[in-house]
Amino acid sequence: MDYQYITNKTGKTIAVVVPLREWEALQSKLEEECLTDAEIKEAEQSWKDYLAGKGEPIELVMKELLDDRND
């Protein structure tokens, strides 16, 4: 797909224009994959744990997330 990147006066990218069909497909996929209240609560607690230095190494988390993907 062709994306259009919008930059400010200094050349920093500040927005991206996504083709409408792709945007609608992304919205549809997002609706299918919404988190439950329990999942949101768990994610918030995980973030608090991470900030407190209790989190797992990012490499381990990423490996687990990638191994769990179904796409």
**pLDDT for res 70:** 67
pLDDT in tens, the chain (71 residues): 688 999 999 999 999 999 999 989 888 887 777 778 888 888 888 888 878 888 777 788 788 888 877 65
Q: At 5, phi and psi to the nearest 5?
A: -100, 130
d(CA 71, CA 5): 27
d(CA 54, CA 48): 9
d(CA 46, CA 58): 12
**pLDDT for res 1:** 60
Global pTM value? 0.39
Helix (H) or strand (E) holding 63: helix 58-67
Domain boundaries, the chain: 1-34, 35-71
